[in-house]
Amino acid sequence: MSMPFSIRAVQLQEAQQLQQLSITTFTEAFATQNKKEDIVQYLTHAFAINRLAEELNDKESEFYFIENEVNKAGYIKLNRKSTYALAAHQPAVELERIYISGAYQKNGLGQQLLNFSTTWAQQQNARTLCLGVWEHNVRAIRFYERNGFIRFGSHIFMLGTDPQTDLLMARPI
């Protein structure tokens, strides 16, 4: 019998655990499709411990772990304001990061995190949940489409020195 998973807020003193999980899950998700130098450059910058500590202290953002009694299986980062929502999507919140470790994928944990994100967004009095997803992450795009997200634009995401296109998606809540 598997242990149940729960979702809880990440505390500042857990920045190092968040860093380790962030590096692991991002690498699992994108390393095989990108140049090693670009991955390393991105990881070094985006998941530097001082940067994560700043993000954890930001009152406009919240991080949550999904875990059981033994392991942290993934996490999300939610922003009270979406940086790229169109005026028609306001007020909106942004699901900036959603990652599940490879060992725990296909167990419904991503759905649990997305459902949690929707409830969280409603508690922020948002009408829309927005996110960006790499155009080549077909599996994630299908997941979001199954959950009612539609594309409303795109923007450039710099992975190291590689400009990549993220699809911007939103759904009403």
Residues serving a catalytic function are: 144
Here the tokens at position 40 are: 């390393």
Nearest to residue 95, comparing CAs of 81, 79, 111? 79
Reduced DSSP (H G I as helix, E B as strand, rest coil) percent helix, strand, coil of the chain, to 5:
40, 30, 25
Cα–Cα distances in angstroms (integers) from residue 156 to residues 60, 69, 137, in the given order:
23, 38, 15
CB atoms near residue 54 (< 10 Å): 12
* Spatial contact of 93 and 80, defined as CB atoms under 8 Å apart: yes
Which alpha helices (H) appear in the chain, and where do they start and end?
Answer: 15-30, 36-46, 49-57, 109-123, 138-146
